[in-house]
Amino acid sequence: MSWYRNTVWFVKGLREYTRGGYESASKRFNPADVEVDVAGRSFLVTGANSGIGKATAMEIARRGGTVHLVCRNKERAEVAKEEIVRETGNPSIFLHIVDISNPKEIWKFAEKFQNEHKLNVLINNAGCMVNNRELTEDGLEKNFATNTLGTYIMTTALVPLLEKAADARVITVSSGGMLVQKLNVSDLQSESGPFDGTMVYAQNKRQQVVLTEQWAKAHRNIHFSVMHPGWADTPAVRSSMPDFYERMKNSLRTEAQGADTVLWLAVSAEATKLPSGLFFQDRQPVPTHLPLAYTHSPPEDEEKLMEVLEEFSQKFKSASPG
């Protein structure tokens, strides 16, 4: 019976992830929440050349914010930057080429960025779902390197800069897929058992939720949040989940709909009235565990995750070029 109730709840929840779910939820939105002028505030968006990252950057630029686009592919990033400047008339758009799966690159970038810029809001959007086990040049499993370690290093490296800012925020784009995963700190790089890219991605997204909760406890002057964008029609979904895309393409959210809660968390005054460390969907906090799903972790596992990531982080910091 508990399995049945859990399944019914989850299927109902899946409907909320579609375009129809967004349209239903948006009836309670207050448009004034995001009708704000953010001129003078600085935003950094990773994975900003397409999909939810680009849509978020576009909307922040429309509101006058200074936007730093952190992208891996220089050619696509330059096209995205030109489009954002053209569409918004905002010239304060800056481009940084960084591979978020390369921890040494992130450290090098963050150290330079801190010396040259201010930062009010960090948006961790870059991610990947690699369906076969691939290793980076550093010997890291690629999903873990990008989604978990990359997010950890980018955030911890920029926390000192954020702590100097007024109304500092960190938003991480996770996924509702994490609801099917319990934190597993014993196999962070998916070395044992068969490799399932979708489940590895979901595990990484669970890790991002834990990171957000832990950061919120450790850094009281910064507002941390993590969110699920719903199922949106993005290049990443089309390439990483082609079967899912074909099945669901007529029900997927637009990129702007997927980015709506990211924007709300980044610019609205309402977002920071809520506690730091929460998980959001469609502008409201939602549970991080399904009923009776047994995905809760003991505190020692969450602490272990932070310890292991810090060890990795420091190892690559010492190895990064000056």
pLDDT of residue 250: 73
pLDDT band at 47 (very low <50, low <70, confident <90, very high): very high
The pLDDT tens digits for 268-281 are: 999 999 999 999 99
Question: What is the spatial distance between Cα 42 and Cα 118, in angstroms, rounded to a whole number?
Answer: 7
Q: What is the pLDDT of residue 8?
A: 42
Average pLDDT, the chain: 92
**Do the beta carbons of residue 192 and residue 307 sit within 8 Å?**
no
For this structure, is 294 an active site residue? no
pLDDT at 2: 38
pLDDT (mean) for 239-243: 68
The sheet with strand 42-46 has its strands ordered as: 93-97, 66-71, 42-46, 121-124, 168-173, 222-227, 278-281, 284-285
Q: What's the rounded Cα separation, in Å, for the pair 39 and 245?
A: 37
**Catalytic residue from among 17, 22, 152, 201:** 201
Give the tens place of pLDDT for each residue, 134-174: 999 999 999 999 999 999 999 999 999 999 999 999 999 99
Residue 170's beta-bridge partner residues?
122, 224
Average confidence (pLDDT) over 184-203 = 94
Confidence of residue 230 (pLDDT cuts 50, 70, 90): confident
Alpha-carbon distance 176 to 198, whole Å? Answer: 12
Domains of the chain: 3-315 (3.40.50.720)
Query: Residue 55's pLDDT is what?
Result: 97
Residue 176 has pLDDT above 90, yes or no: no
Identify the pLDDT of residue 240: 63
The answer to whether 203 touches 300, Cβ cutoff 8 Å, is: no
Q: Provide the whole-model pTM.
A: 0.93
- Using pLDDT thresholds of 50, 70 and 90, give the confidence band for residue 54: very high
The 3-state secondary structure of the chain reads CHHHHHHHHHHHHHHHCCHHHHHHHHHHCCHHHCCCCCCCCEEEEECCCCHHHHHHHHHHHHCCCEEEEEECCHHHHHHHHHHHHHHHCCCCEEEEECCCCCHHHHHHHHHHHHHHCCCCEEEECCCCCCCCCCECCCCCEHHHHHHHHHHHHHHHHHHHHHCCCCCEEEEEECCHHHHHCCCCCCCCCCCCCCCCHHHHHHHHHHHHHHHHHHHHHHCCCEEEEEECCCCECCHHHHHHCHHHHHHHCCCCECHHHHHHHHHHHHHCCCHHHCCCCEEEECCEECCCCCCCCCCCCCHHHHHHHHHHHHHHHHHHHHHCCC
